[in-house]
Structure 1
């Protein structure tokens, strides 16, 4: 094993790498043919130790190879299989070469690792780690300058156990098993030790680095750090000390329900990622907090999706405490965003304590088909330029042809337009919008002339196909009018499809207009938003809290609506006023439109709520009686109230 002086060999209990090769300075590899470099011209550069002394593995960054043209390293592979490939970069100035200005491409025979790469931080070193399944006797790593020079400080190639990355994982959306993980190249984006210190390569079984979680934790007030001073128990078939070191499984961040007034909170970490890629996310768990078996149950979430519900570490570790396990989840690029949220939250199982832990987390970017792990600014790939040129040329010809056809058909369309309307006028609040339709491969497009917005109509069989025949596993929401399904059209367009409940008597299909009762339901949701000061949909919360309307009605039916009132106003609301407010919201959110009040009834109910709130409890009688000068309201729209005479703020009101 070759490496800079002073670097310890990794502590490995059950696995010894067949090959560990570190290319820097004179090139060689223990027990194998020498690592070779092929280049037309190279410059060996160095910098003082003082500039990098504060960084881990500082000796690796003191020297660099600079290339003026295409160059490559060849590493002999003793045993084909999965390997870590680590690239070390630190830009410094050497003579007339400023390495911070270098831009270049790095690739192997099978995958493009870096495309038009340029060091983002000029003051700190950068380690890029990849996990590659190498099916060759040699690994060739090539460098191609994009603007004159390329450089590298060190390259490390080390074999890892074949089962470090299994072939299957859980996929969130749709909920199914993902197969084929042994094939795609992976790039380590984050490796985090929850609740514990930073783990350096000297203290990791495979020379990995684990950072602390504090900079990613969104709500530290609902968490606490825990540490386990005893021995970790590794069970056959579960995680090993190669999956993660003892120090990762021996520490954790735990949900501290006792630190909050409401135990229904998640602890959430947020990471910046490239939304154009899919990700393999590995959760590391080890129950180091329970005093007995079957006491710890919780849920895990990736973004807005459930990774696994009701996790029972006792059963997964074969009824052994402090026995590590891990959970692999694949997040598709279709569902990824630039902010990746990882959450642990309490379960809703009966008699389960509000608790949850996470010991470690790994986030790995997935590449398929040899595509680059990074997107460059262009100019580094001639083949790509040829392809793009051909595509753009074809698109240009197509556009010219379409323009010609449109010009020829313009007069005919103009003559026909005044005689044909595909759909009936679309009425919104009594205003009629003249609409014209055009046919597509999926149905008919409805274009509204009122506000420039667009709506679409599709054949029912198209919607069946898009939603997998309205698969219940594809449900993403439930409202008063029906369920909302995720759908994917044939052109890969993602849509949300609401399948109406015919009993609700709502919407366009009933009377070719939006009904007043539709507005009543929406207004009820707004009332809850005002009361609770939270969004209608919040995917970072536990599943039962995601939908504000459903969550609020659960508390209302329990008679405990005060539990979810915004804390900034909870102490100022009179109980009788809140009770009537809750009753009004509940009626607005009735499942069926015929059960909801009119908007006039809602208005009078809210006025009554205001009178209850403004009532002076010290006034025993009506000190002033002001006549009600407002115009009379039809009896059908009056709020039903107790028949007795009531007085609020000196004003006398009679309710029927």
Structure 2
């Protein structure tokens, strides 16, 4: 093919990569023009064409046939790029927060002796290291994040940094010291969630006061990352950020001061967005002070970590209570550098329960005369706890930059005279090589500029490619999972009996998409309230072509609901696919979402009987989904905003955008990425990424508590123990005091026994393990029993009050027309003088082959 052909292909790949909205991980195999796979991750050669990486100079490609030490990166470390002059890598990507890891594995190559290599590294102007000598760093006790360990010593080194990128790319500069050279084996750039480091951190010895560290403007270096009480966690076990977690035992003053314990149950994160802080295996092991081999039980557990003096440090401690299921059983103190960081520390209380993964950050300054950072956990004699034990699961130490500098120059006790002599020898040895490199670089630059014009034309061609076209299913003769993108979707129209609307009809129904008629907004676009020609009210969902996430969910809804018909599923009336528009038309649910009638609006509150009936309707819909086909369907986004109410307050499930077909007979679950809404997510699914029908059951249990308490499932403005509704309500339910937190608007207009039974059902739905939860059929049966109890109680109250002529407690009557009905236009005259027809209840059946009119679920409120 030749250099020109390879160059053109490379430029096409670069254009495609630049078109991405977000920067993906950069995994660079330095000193190579080929890619390799390491634990399922592809590392691209830094001289491979089309890799979206720019090098200022080619340097020297070095290789070795053998890598010593037990390292997962052995194949990656067989090559390196050596540089004798300044070398710049520019990785083009988006703004954001990133981990940068530099991999070093010193090996002998020709006349280059790694022991004589000294260089500096900068990234986007932040100085990372200065006068850096890799063998000296590996041999020094201050080395951090060693990637591999041989029989007796470390053979490689990984330096890890975190910083914010405000420009469109990362520029990494390797600068050899005068008369020396440098090398690098691999570069790793990983996008990170913005909240991995918070700017406000507790200051050690500050009496609990927080300090603002201005971290968005500072660089961070990872000095230590320890899995306390457990085994080494390799990068492939930390799938979020591919971090290495070392053993902690080598840093303890007295290993016998703490015994190792393991978790035998399931761990969940205290907050849903905590998944980035550490993987679950970190929290499954710990060290505690309870050790029968230690005579003095009050002896502190202590870790001594060598760090660079005269820098600021952030210490992150990871906790998870693995033993006690009530508070005030394990209180202790935390000391950092012999100063109290926290006292009366109760993991259970702070994390919000047992088996809850939780972390705390502390900030301290290392003086210039000290380079030992001490972390100690010990008993708090002043605390009134049942025990004086302590526990720690994980430990991280981060160095913070000062004035754009993270570098600390170590002295390796080499005189300047020897260094100069060594540099002179090196220059003589590699002088001829440098001259050859300069000539080669000039030729490469010349070819690059000659080929630039054709690549520009290629880019122009790319820009004129066709845009988005609607997504529709194939007809019934094709694969049900197929879709037509950018093709004529005539198969869709031919195979469905739903009405095909013209765009003019849709515009007339929505008054040309009048914004005042918008009743919902989601990732797909907007939902409008419309009135069709026959005076039928409809919910009209208009897809947004720019929303890829929304279009995927749109396609899933059609695929799923083309198989289903049920009274408690929102039905689809028809569709429109003109002029690049993709619009679906559903039956109008006059009374909106269940949530809007429970809290958050001025709409009339539902009575207790109505709430039970709505929950029964939703449970019937979910039960049908789970059992109405061979493998069933898992909704995956059960919540009060996806339970809609028609004019008679009949509940119907909505929004199938995240739904999944259930597991086959030979499997117990569906392995899939976690999706859904925080507060409703099944912790077992969240933890294992294994979806089952019981995940819907858990979410429905949260809905039941939401119906009782009439508050948001996640409310960060409340006290810590009340933020999560499920945990807060479960606490009161276990104390048999659910009436304490019931919606005050119910005003005791409920049967106490029905509330008790209702709470018991919700509690069973929220069992930690899916196998301990009931099926939706069992939930439905129990809810119907609760309704019988409530109706019997109402009859008894009505009979007792009939003697005095008092008004019954349960108001308004279910047959009355509410104010919302009137506002919704149910009794509004039709445009042609007729009355609007009420949609008849649909039979419970499974549509086979798509020959029937297929219904559709619509979310009237975005996720």
TM-score (norm 1): 0.52
**1:181-226 deviations in Å (ceiling 9; x for gaps):** 3331111110000000000001013100001111111122221100
Structure 2 match to 1:150: 182
Q: What is aligned with 1:178?
A: 211
Show CA shifts across 1:200-259 (max 9, x none). Answer: 00101310000111111112222110000221122326x733211111011001111654
C-alpha displacement of 1:294: 3.2
Shift of 1:17: 8.6
In structure 2, the residue matched to 1:127 is 158
Report Cα offsets for 1:2-61 as digits up to 9, x if no partner. xxxxxxxxxxxxxx99511011123579xx973334344511110013x33622311221
1:194 paired residue among 219, 223, 228: 228
Pick the structure with more helix per residue: 2
Aligned match for 1:38, one of 51, 55, 63? 55
Secondary structure at 2:349's aligned position in 1?
helix
Q: In 1, distance between residues paired with 2:22 and 2:225?
A: 21
- Which residue does the alignment assign to 1:266? 300
CA distance in 1, matches of 2:301, 2:88: 46
Cα distance in 2 for partners of 1:226, 1:219 equals 17
**Structure 2: gaps (5+ residues):** 1-20, 34-43, 140-153, 415-863
Deviates more, 1:39-48 or 1:88-97: 39-48
2:243 is aligned to 208
1:309 to 343, 354, 365: 343
Matched-pair contact (CA < 8 Å) for 2:319–2:392: yes
Tell whether 2:116 aligns with 1:101.
yes
Aligned to 1:165: 197
1:336, 1:363 → 2: CA distance? Answer: 19
Q: Name the structure where strand makes up a greater proportion of residues.
A: 1
From 365, 376, 379, the counterpart of 1:332: 365
**1:76 deviation in Å?**
1.3
Q: In structure 2, what is the Cα distance between the partners aligned to 1:231 and 1:336?
A: 45
1:155-554 equivalence runs, <5 A: 155-175=187-207, 176-179=209-212, 180-204=214-238, 205-236=240-271, 240-256=274-290, 258-318=292-352, 320-334=353-367, 337-348=370-381, 349-375=383-409
| Distance apart, 1:152 and its partner CA | 0.7
Could you report, residue by residue, the CA deviation over 1:113-165 in whole angstroms, capped at 9, with x for unpaired residues?
11111111377111100011111111100111113322110111111111111
Q: Which residue of 1 aligns with 2:497?
A: none
3-state DSSP of counterpart to 1:328 = strand
> Following the alignment from structure 1 to structure 2, what is the Cα–Cα distance between the partners of residues 306 and 129?
29
> Matches of 2:408 and 2:181 in 1, distance apart?
19
- Residue 275 (structure 1) shift: 1.7
1:448 — aligned with what? none
- Name the TM-score, length of structure 2 as normaliser: 0.40
Seen in structure 2, the aligned counterparts of structure 1 residues 33 and 43 have a Cα distance that, compared at 3 Å, is: closer
Q: Encode CA deviations 1:444-489: one digit per residue, 9 max, x unaligned.
A: xxxxxxxxxxxxxxxxxxxxxxxxxxxxxxxxxxxxxxxxxxxxxx
In the TM superposition, residue 70 of structure 1 has moved relative to its aligned partner by 0.9
Query: How far apart in 2 are the matches of 1:222 and 1:333?
Result: 26
Residue aligned with 1:352, SS: coil
Give the unaligned 5+ runs of structure 1: 1-15, 380-656
- Partner residue of 1:428? none
- State the distance in 1 between where 2:369 and 2:189 align: 30
Q: Secondary structure of 2:251's partner?
A: coil
* Counterpart-to-counterpart distance in 1, 2:220 and 2:350: 26
1:285/1:359 contact within 8 Å kept: yes
Q: Mapping of 1:62-77 within 5 angstroms? A: 62-77=78-93
In 2: Cα distance, 1:17 partner to 1:262 partner: 55
1:117 to 132, 137, 142: 132
C-alpha separation in 2, matches of 1:21 and 1:285: 32
Where 1:182 maps in the other structure, the secondary structure is helix
* Whole-angstrom CA distance in 2 between matches of 1:17 and 1:209: 25
Conserved? CA contact 2:69–2:155, under 8 Å: no
Instruction: Report which stretch shifted further, 301-310 or 251-260.
Output: 251-260
Distance 1:200 1:282 in 2: 19
3-state secondary structure, aligned to 1:241 = helix
The count of residues paired between Structure 1 and Structure 2 equals: 358
Contact conserved, 1:249 with 1:286, CA < 8 A, in 2?
yes
